[in-house]
Structure 1
């Protein structure tokens, strides 16, 4: 069912989904599409149906009847339960029960949809500033073929990204040392790194940005619930309480209690029967009227916002679990090590000891490469070399392209690491001289 909804939303809204995970697509694909459909449906009902019908005095002509219906739709109506025997005479007291939302809800749906899309726009705007495009890497991974060199190309891309981080970190240390020994303030200021450089030397930039986007998804839900609680409220009754009362109405009430709730609590937020005050100017005098109206469109809004209330609760729980799960996957070392260790065991399964073709490195480093399968210390050093961003990219590739391409990619990364970066002395010389060759 979830896959069907995702396919429908992807067909309606063309957004690249290769650069994050399924839990994120629920925000900017499923929820975004639902709100756009709600906006179109509510606009259609307002313009092509009769959203409001009012009881007219007997002396009203057709012109007066049309005027009264339109003025009651444009000016906000207000709600009092039918249990009230007499309406208050004070206009200010009546205004406290005014419904101010029903004309503007199509625009509210569009604003809500934009804010569900906004975190994804921030994500795709900022991760590219770090010199890495996960979407393109995943797109390459989906075209993986054992006969092609796709795994090698992705491995070289990961290597290029990781070593750009190392070069930037080395440059940062050299700049800081130069600033300490610098006497001239003007020369010191010229050596300060710019914004792009500050981004590039952070080894966990992509992971930190991704977790920040996860927090934005959570904050977006909380802020939207608070906003709807203010917009839809009539008096002290708001969106949050409406959801709880509706759940109670559906699952916990007896038939008698349902009738009471339907006539009072259940209709405080989206009442079907409202009141409208207006006056008509005639020669020499003004005539004031208070009439009852039926807001047919509130039947639609009531169902939509109850479904939205349930969806927001489910989405908040999913987003919270997703944030905690993502934090545990990428921040602690042992979870990153466990993932790479699992992939290395898959490589070991490809090359059993009895197989004479057991090679995961070049000939000069064949023994060291095989030792990596059995040496816990060297595996830890390899995971440290990948850093959090490297493991994030491999997990993203695993989620979208499958296991085979990740196994091949890690196998090639092991070769690269053993040949060029395991010896820290050689790595230090390359960092100082900036002697790197990333092309195959």
Structure 2
């Protein structure tokens, strides 16, 4: 329970948990705020002022009128068309409306459903050993810093943190490839390491989409109507010049039947007409909510398609990283064969999908310049380690002492050209 409270606090903090995109924040931040504000507004309206006012016989005392108002609000009312001239009898079926009282609680439940994907993303993204929001938050801090020294220090932290994560992925995958006797376990390791965050993020996007669709379906049952067509019906009435605020879903005027017991077996049955002014707020809100749901559903679906298109095809990953390194002055448009080989290994075997995904997420939360600086730092670190590894490997393979001595300067010389003269690569 304490862990859940901590996660809820993290997701509600504006300064942390920023490892998401604008469409995600529309779901887990702005929509949640709208629903909570509406729940507070309707709750205040229900318990501070009178949500219902019934027209009682003139011989009712003030206390009796208050009692009737409370009975009709807490039980059920029903709607009659203006064309109906007779009140239904005791045994006649009527369509009662009993959901007004539960609207604040339903709004809070809706808000929780919108924040759940964010909680799941926070929990499972940290299973990788690196909180993604650590990188994105550091990038946001880097963007705010005006002093170059402080900004460089923050960028160095980002490069080291992400580089450590990528190095661990490489070692885990090498270990997985040695698991010859456990083919299933080997396939799981090889498939998901380096792709876990990307696949998880797309899954969270799909959860946001499913959540909106599910909420529309649930509102159909809760409001006892075809809520999925609510917005279209409202627009149709507006085009026809009809009063779009008059609806049987949220009637301003409703009927209420109740019984007052007297001494003995005497039971007095009453039917009164009640005004429900709070329904004006309910109807306007649910019309707005329908259009809001359509908006975030469209935007989230487009965002999901964009991330799949950007992160899964390797050609798009190569193009993205190439443009960022070129913009930072670390790579030419047409590098030589050896540099191109190192570049492809850097993107496809070192960064993998997760590294490219984090770089794109940094750009979404800050700007392309910081993302380019991050990739440039990782590229320099990768080239340094690769050159050292190849030089040591050459020393072990070369039996000639003179060849061993000459091979190291050659490899180091290549590294120096990569680091000091990037414009020639």
TM-score by length of 1: 0.77
CA distance in 2, matches of 1:20, 1:372: 37
- Distance 1:77-1:352 versus aligned 2 partners, 3 A rule: closer
Structure 1 residues 202-242: Cα deviation after superposition (integer angstroms, max 9, x where no partner): 22100111001000100110111111111111xxx332233
Q: Is the 8 Å Cα contact of residues 39 and 106 (structure 1) preserved in structure 2? A: yes
CA distance in 2, matches of 1:165, 1:380: 17
Aligned pair count?
375
Aligned equivalent of 1:416: 381
Aligned equivalent of 1:402: 367
Answering whether residue 191 of structure 2 is matched by residue 204 of structure 1, we say: no
Answering whether residue 44 of structure 2 is matched by residue 44 of structure 1, we say: yes
- Distance 1:143-1:372 versus aligned 2 partners, 3 A rule: farther
Aligned equivalent of 2:112: 114
Answering whether residue 251 of structure 2 is matched by residue 271 of structure 1, we say: yes
CA distance in 2, matches of 1:92, 1:207: 59
Q: Is the 8 Å Cα contact of residues 56 and 272 (structure 2) preserved in structure 1? A: yes
Q: After the TM superposition, which residues 20-39 of structure 1 pair with which residues of structure 2 at under 5 Å, given as runs?
A: 20-39=20-39
Q: Is the 8 Å Cα contact of residues 168 and 200 (structure 1) preserved in structure 2? A: no
* Uncovered stretches (5+) of structure 1, i.e. residues with no partner: 1-9, 181-191, 354-369, 430-440
Structure 1 residues 9-54: Cα deviation after superposition (integer angstroms, max 9, x where no partner): x9x9524342111111111111111111101100111111111011
Structure 1 residues 387-426: Cα deviation after superposition (integer angstroms, max 9, x where no partner): 0100111112222233333333222222222232479978
CA distance in 1, matches of 2:82, 2:108: 34
Aligned equivalent of 1:104: 102
- Distance 1:165-1:65 versus aligned 2 partners, 3 A rule: same
- Distance 1:306-1:400 versus aligned 2 partners, 3 A rule: same
Picking from 386, 391, 397, the partner of 2:351 is 386
CA distance in 2, matches of 1:116, 1:428: 53
* Larger deviation, residues 386-395 vs 149-158: 149-158
Picking from 228, 231, 239, the partner of 1:243 is 231
What displacement does 1:383 show? 1.2
Q: CA RMSD in A?
A: 3.1
What displacement does 1:157 show? 2.0
Picking from 203, 228, 250, the partner of 2:219 is 228
CA distance in 2, matches of 1:322, 1:299: 34
What displacement does 1:371 show? 4.6
Q: Is the 8 Å Cα contact of residues 136 and 362 (structure 2) preserved in structure 1? A: yes
Answering whether residue 175 of structure 2 is matched by residue 171 of structure 1, we say: yes
Q: Is the 8 Å Cα contact of residues 168 and 201 (structure 1) preserved in structure 2? A: no
CA distance in 2, matches of 1:426, 1:238: 70
- Distance 1:152-1:67 versus aligned 2 partners, 3 A rule: closer
CA distance in 2, matches of 1:173, 1:373: 28
Aligned equivalent of 1:356: none
Aligned equivalent of 1:336: 317
CA distance in 1, matches of 2:111, 2:284: 18
Q: After the TM superposition, which residues 209-220 of structure 1 pair with which residues of structure 2 at under 5 Å, given as runs?
A: 209-220=200-211
Tell me the SS of whatever aligns to 1:277. Answer: strand
CA distance in 2, matches of 1:150, 1:204: 26
CA distance in 2, matches of 1:424, 1:269: 71
Tell me the SS of whatever aligns to 1:156. Answer: helix
- Distance 1:343-1:178 versus aligned 2 partners, 3 A rule: same
Tell me the SS of whatever aligns to 1:290. Answer: strand
* Uncovered stretches (5+) of structure 2, i.e. residues with no partner: 1-8, 395-425
Q: Is the 8 Å Cα contact of residues 172 and 201 (structure 1) preserved in structure 2? A: no
